[in-house]
Amino acid sequence: MDGTIFLPLMVVIPILCAILVNLLHGTQTITKIIAVIGAICLPVVPLVATYGNSFFGGYAPLIEGGFTASLPDAVNSLVSGTILELFHPAITYSFGPGQQVILFVLGLVAMCAIILSVAETKKTSGVYLYLLFMLSAALMAFTLTDDIFNLYVFFEIAALVQVGLILVSRVKGNYETGLKYMLLGEIGGSFMLLGIGLLLGLTGNVNITDIVMVIHSGAIDPYNPVLLFAAGMLIYGWLYATGLPPFNSIKSEIYSKGLPSGSILLQSFSVIACITIGLIILRIFAYSSTVQMVVLAVSVLAMILGICLAMVQDDYKRIIAYLAVGELGYIGVGLGLGSAYSITAGLFQAVNELMVTSLLFVGFGLVLYKARTSKISKLGGLLEYMPVGALLTVLAGFAMAGVPPFNVFQSKYMLVQAAMVAGIPELAVIMIILSIVTFLAFLRIAYAVFLKPKPEELEVSKSSVPRTSIAIMVILIIVCLVIGLMPDIVVSQLGQLALTTLAI
């Protein structure tokens, strides 16, 4: 059997599950069974799929024999031997070793979020599960697609689903945050579509590989002002999707308004958008040092702002949210440095952050479960009530700060090396200092939540910590440790994606 059949299934399965759980909302048992089976499929399908391309609504390139019907001679003579033979006249999904790693980790994280939602709610909500599955599908499509308009469509679907996830959380101020996010999203999405439209106008294509081919064939001037304007529009869309400055504040707001299971996928969207749209920008505008400089500058700003703002918050959900945005800056730095090694490091950081931030959201979900408040000033002494959960949460915090032997240590080490090789030691110093600050931020949270004496007015729930959350945290920590101790199992595969990105 041709393993590329699994490529569309990575998107189709979560969409089918989303429709089914929504339709069967009233029947609890069936909804749960479908959700769990669908969730397990998410990390498994990328493992069994074969590397290759899948084409929808069209044909493979003519040079690959994609169009089998006979063309009129006049058309043949026009097309034969030209760049047109290489074009992809279809929505193309590309799947290689790098995508496999990213999709597996994404699937693992999405599976954890869905199972967490199923296990820890008395009455499973089909609508909520629908949102989780739809966001998973959008993220899978984001990673696979080689078609920039297809990416835009899933970008908009993801934006709507994100608002849905905030609205169902019932956290105070969720509707206001949702509307604000949508208004900003309308600008971000429209500007991104404008960029896509300009690229289409200049190159006649929406397939990213084809756009790159046209630009590098010399058919259009790479420094055409309209092309550079399109770059600006795409960068704007990238900033909005990832939550890099100036959108860091609203993005952290979004994370803090979600339920733990929802927040896991909300931050996954930012990470996946950061690497997918970032890689597209790099692929198309690799020749422009200005574009790389902008990506690098915004990323450094995001690191500094995210981590500094995290230090002054009193709400631990907000602290994690700001730290998550700050960590996105590390990914952006990897992409912005522009070498194969730095891009690999950036992708590695992205894969690690997917897991580590999810761990923190689950861990602090436990704190919320026990103490019913997220204000650090009102918390304390929880170590006694949830020792295992506290230990796992602190380990997750150390992982995010880049403490060895966890995976983030390896990716941050690679990023520092990449900055040194690029001749920017100042950047390496900034990254090291910010990692130390992140570590201090976690020490502050750990002390305030778990170690300092319990305030008298704090009422701690007597029910035991949900075992599903603990099991999920243990699984993710083990994966983080394994990758931290054997980074080559993912780095070599991500390296191939980085090389493909830079290949012209």
Residues at the interface with another protein (CB under 8 A) = 72, 74-75, 78, 149, 153, 156-157, 159-160, 163, 167, 171-173, 175-180, 182-183, 185-187, 189-190, 193-194, 196-197, 200-201, 204, 206, 253, 256-257, 315, 317-318, 368, 372-375
SS3 category, 3: helix
Tell me the chain's radius of gyration from C-alpha atoms: 23
How near is the Cβ of 357 to another protein at its closest, in Å? 18
Instruction: Please identify, using beta-carbon distances, which residue of 182 and 502 lies nearer to another protein.
Output: 182
- What is the rounded CA–CA span in Å between residue 322 and residue 421? 29
In degrees, to the nearest 5, what angle opens at C-alpha 256 toward C-alphas 251 and 41? 85
How near is the Cβ of 97 to another protein at its closest, in Å? 31
Instruction: Please identify, using beta-carbon distances, which residue of 24 and 160 lies nearer to another protein.
Output: 160
How near is the Cβ of 216 to another protein at its closest, in Å? 21
Instruction: Please identify, using beta-carbon distances, which residue of 283 and 317 lies nearer to another protein.
Output: 317
Which tokens sit at 282? 């790099």
Asked whether 233 and 199 are in contact (CB, 8 A), the reply is no
- What is the rounded CA–CA span in Å between residue 210 and residue 194? 18
Asked whether 373 and 316 are in contact (CB, 8 A), the reply is no
Instruction: Please identify, using beta-carbon distances, which residue of 374 and 501 lies nearer to another protein.
Output: 374
Placement of tokens 């990673």 in the chain: 143
- DSSP string covering 167-230: HTT--TTHHHHHHHHHHHHHHHHHHHHHHHHHHHHHHS--BHHHHHHHHHTTSS-TT-HHHHHH
**How far out from the chain centre does Cα 100 lie?**
14
Asked whether 359 and 407 are in contact (CB, 8 A), the reply is no
- What is the rounded CA–CA span in Å between residue 410 and residue 485? 9
How near is the Cβ of 75 to another protein at its closest, in Å? 6
Instruction: Please identify, using beta-carbon distances, which residue of 130 and 413 lies nearer to another protein.
Output: 130
How near is the Cβ of 288 to another protein at its closest, in Å? 23
Instruction: Please identify, using beta-carbon distances, which residue of 226 and 474 lies nearer to another protein.
Output: 226
Which tokens sit at 178? 């949702």
Which tokens sit at 161? 């689903």
How near is the Cβ of 19 to another protein at its closest, in Å? 16
How near is the Cβ of 141 to another protein at its closest, in Å? 14
Report the largest interatomic distance among the alpha carbons of the chain, rounded to a whole angstrom: 87
Asked whether 448 and 330 are in contact (CB, 8 A), the reply is no
How near is the Cβ of 406 to another protein at its closest, in Å? 28
Amino acid at residue number 139: L
How near is the Cβ of 84 to another protein at its closest, in Å? 12
Asked whether 95 and 53 are in contact (CB, 8 A), the reply is yes
Instruction: Please identify, using beta-carbon distances, which residue of 41 and 231 lies nearer to another protein.
Output: 231
Instruction: Please identify, using beta-carbon distances, which residue of 25 and 375 lies nearer to another protein.
Output: 375
Q: What is the helix (H) or strand (E) element at residue 260, kind and residue range?
A: helix 260-284
> Pick from 333, 240, 335, 260: which is nearest to 109 by CA?
260
How near is the Cβ of 385 to another protein at its closest, in Å? 18
Instruction: Please identify, using beta-carbon distances, which residue of 30 and 79 lies nearer to another protein.
Output: 79
- What is the rounded CA–CA span in Å between residue 270 and residue 134? 15
Amino acid at residue number 330: Y
Asked whether 412 and 438 are in contact (CB, 8 A), the reply is no
Instruction: Please identify, using beta-carbon distances, which residue of 97 and 204 lies nearer to another protein.
Output: 204
Instruction: Please identify, using beta-carbon distances, which residue of 372 and 467 lies nearer to another protein.
Output: 372
How near is the Cβ of 90 to another protein at its closest, in Å? 12
Instruction: Please identify, using beta-carbon distances, which residue of 98 and 188 lies nearer to another protein.
Output: 188
Instruction: Please identify, using beta-carbon distances, which residue of 98 and 258 lies nearer to another protein.
Output: 258
> Pick from 135, 136, 129: which is nearest to 108 by CA?
136
Per-residue DSSP letter, 84? G
How near is the Cβ of 205 to another protein at its closest, in Å? 8
How near is the Cβ of 91 to another protein at its closest, in Å? 11
- What is the rounded CA–CA span in Å between residue 277 and residue 235? 8
- Cβ-based burial of 282 (10 A; exposed 0-12, middle 13-18, buried ≥19): buried
